[in-house]
Structure formats: C-alpha cells, structure tokens
C-alpha cells in the first residue's frame, strides 16, 4: 500500500531563510512526478478556485453551476470536474485527497441480445433504458467493469516512477537529480553559501496538508520548498533574491 506520509531531509540556510535542497527518497520523487499526471480539473478542485491564477477557475465554476439539462445525455459533469488521471501508476504516496470519479460507481449497460452467443451489438451506454441503435431494444443489461492492470509495477515489484535504493536531490525550485557529494557541493556554490555555520539540517514529515501546499507552490513559486516549510514570507524573499 502506498504511504500516507513521507520523510524529507532539508538543508536550510538559516541566515538567508531559504531551503537550499532536500535529500529525498523514491516516495517523495514519485509524488512530485505524479503531479504532472493530474488533469487540470483535478488541480483546480484540489486548490479551490480562489487560489488559481488567471481565468481557468471561472471556467471550472461555470461547469459546476451549469444545470444538467444543458449537458448532452451521454455526458457527465463529474468527468470534467473530477477527471481521472490518464494513466494508473501503483504505489505512489497518497499525499493528495483522492476525489476521482470511481470506476465502480460508473455502470455500463447493453441490450439483452449481447448476452446471446449468436448475436453481438457493439453498443454500450451509461444510462440504463437507452434504446440500442442496432435493435431498438432497451439497454438495461449491466456489464461487468474490469479495472486496468499495471504490468510495469508487477514486473518490477516497486511501482511508482523512479527506482528505489537511491537518494535524490530536490532543489528549492523542484529540480530533481540523483544525489551525490559533487552535486551537493555544486549546489552550495551555486547558492553562494559562505558561512557553513548557518547551515541547518531538518527532517520533516509530509502528509496531505503539505502535499497540497507543494502542488500550490509548484504553480506559483520558484522557491517551493521554502514556501512550504519556512512560510510564505520567506518564499517571497527567496524568489526576489533569485
């Protein structure tokens, strides 16, 4: 089962009030990479309209307020408001609320003749009672739903996106690379760290609250880790100094 909390080790420049980078394991990197698979409708719903940049939040609100009578009979508003990700990857940490439309809750129907060996009509519907275009009979026979199988996760045993047993460096702007001593020193030089006494290590636990802040920060800031773990004012200062 995917984790609901993830540990992260931060390296902080206390003098500059800035997170320089984080040492992260597979779980945290899988979570970050999974953000790219989120549909726009899901992102808006998770962050609420008020925090969205531009007018996309108004478009979401328009669909939300639109009466079902104006929708096509074969369309469901929830498919736009709560879309499912295009791919299914197992064992990604559950650091965001799961408000997807459940496949189990969506039922599909066909006409009675599809259950006969000698007859097959290539039509299904999600609204029971719809007339079959092939025979005009009521499509009220429910079809069993089979979820997708992630063959990749089964073959490797790990799931997710990246390999385990590796430490990754995640910078303040969410650049991700494999961790090494050379990459750590290069990052300190890039950040113009002169006083090593000001450096502090801090281990943090990331749950759903921090997961939502990371999603929000990734869309608004170039100092995401500072924004999430040191507070909003420090993030603004870090952005201005970059």
Structure tokens that stand for 85 in this block: 């990700």
- Residue range 32-50, pLDDT digits in tens: 998 988 888 888 888 876 5
Q: Which CA distances in Å does 224 have to 50, 127, 185?
A: 19, 44, 21
Q: How far apart are the first and last CA of the chain?
A: 39
Q: Is residue 186 part of a domain?
A: yes
For residue 201, the cross-strand partners are: 11
Q: Which of 2, 163, 161 is nearest to 91 (CA)?
A: 2
Identify the bridge partners of residue 200 per DSSP, sorted by sequence position.
Answer: 12
Q: For residue 60, give every residue at least 6 positions away whose Cβ sits within 8 Å of its Cβ, in sequence order, or none.
A: 41, 44, 45, 49, 52, 81
- H or E segment to which residue 184 belongs: helix 181-190
**DSSP labels, 109-120:** EE-GGGGSTT--
The domain of 183 spans: 6-38+85-98+165-241
pLDDT at 148 over 70: no
Residues 131 and 199 in one domain: no
179 and 89 co-located in one domain: yes
In a domain, 129, yes or no: yes
pLDDT at 186 over 50: yes
Nearest to 44 by CA among 228, 216, 224: 216
Mean pLDDT, range 143-147, rounded to an integer: 71
Residue 101 has pLDDT above 80, yes or no: no
Judge if 138 and 188 occupy the same domain. Answer: no
91/210 same-domain check: yes
For residue range 53-97, what is the model confidence (pLDDT) as tens digits?
667 788 888 988 999 888 888 788 888 888 876 655 767 777 887
Residue 196, in any domain of the structure: yes
Q: Is 214 found in the same domain as 180? A: yes
Surface-to-core class of residue 54, CB atoms within 10 Å of its CB (0-12 exposed, 13-18 middle, 19+ buried): exposed
The percent of residues above 90 in pLDDT, for the chain, comes to 25
Q: Which residue has the higher pLDDT, 232 or 77?
A: 77
**Lowest-pLDDT range of 117-126, 186-195, 202-211, 231-240:** 231-240
What is the SS3 assignment for 82?
coil
Residue range 223-231: average pLDDT?
92
At 238, is the pLDDT very low, low, confident or very high (cuts 50, 70, 90)? Answer: very low
Displacement of CA 135 from its chain's centroid (Å) = 43
Nearest partner of 23 among 38, 40, 6, 37, judged by Cα: 6
Question: Any bridge partners for residue 8, and if so which?
Answer: 204
Question: Is there a single domain that holds both residue 234 and residue 115?
Answer: no
159 vs 86: CA distance, rounded Å: 17
Domain identity same for 11 and 29: yes
Tokens 């799961």 appear where? 98
Tally of structural domains, the chain: 2
Find out whether 16 and 196 touch, Cβ atoms under 8 Å.
no
**Backbone phi, psi, residue 39, to 5°:** -65, 155
Residues 33 and 136 both lie in one domain = no
Co-location of 217 and 237 in the same domain:
yes
Q: Are residues 90 and 116 in the same domain?
A: no
* Residues 24 and 118 placed together within one structural domain of the fold: no
């Amino acid at each position: 089962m995917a984790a609901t909390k993830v540990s992260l080790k931060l390296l902080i420049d206390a003098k500059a009030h800035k997170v320089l980078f984080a040492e992260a394991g597979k779980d945290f990197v899988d979570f970050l990479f999974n953000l790219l698979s989120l549909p726009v409708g899901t992102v808006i719903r998770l962050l609420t309209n008020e925090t969205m940049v531009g007018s996309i939040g108004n478009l979401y609100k328009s669909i939300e307020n639109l009466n079902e009578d104006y929708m096509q009979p074969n369309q469901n508003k929830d498919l736009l408001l709560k879309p499912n990700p295009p791919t299914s990857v197992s064992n990604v940490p559950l650091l965001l609320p799961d408000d997807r439309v459940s496949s189990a809750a969506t039922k599909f129907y066909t006409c009675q003749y599809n259950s006969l060996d000698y007859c097959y009509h290539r039509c299904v519907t999600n609204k029971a009672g719809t007339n079959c275009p092939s025979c005009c009979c009521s499509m009220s026979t429910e079809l069993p739903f089979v979820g997708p199988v992630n063959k990749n996760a089964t073959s490797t045993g790990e799931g997710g996106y990246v390999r385990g047993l590796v430490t990754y460096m995640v910078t303040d702007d969410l650049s991700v690379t494999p961790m090494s001593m050379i990459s750590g020193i290069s990052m300190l030089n890039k950040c113009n760290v002169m006083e090593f006494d000001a450096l502090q290590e801090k281990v943090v636990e990331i749950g759903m609250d921090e997961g939502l802040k990371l999603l929000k920060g990734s869309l608004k800031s170039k100092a995401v880790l500072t924004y999430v773990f040191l507070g909003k004012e420090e993030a603004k200062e870090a952005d201005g100094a970059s």
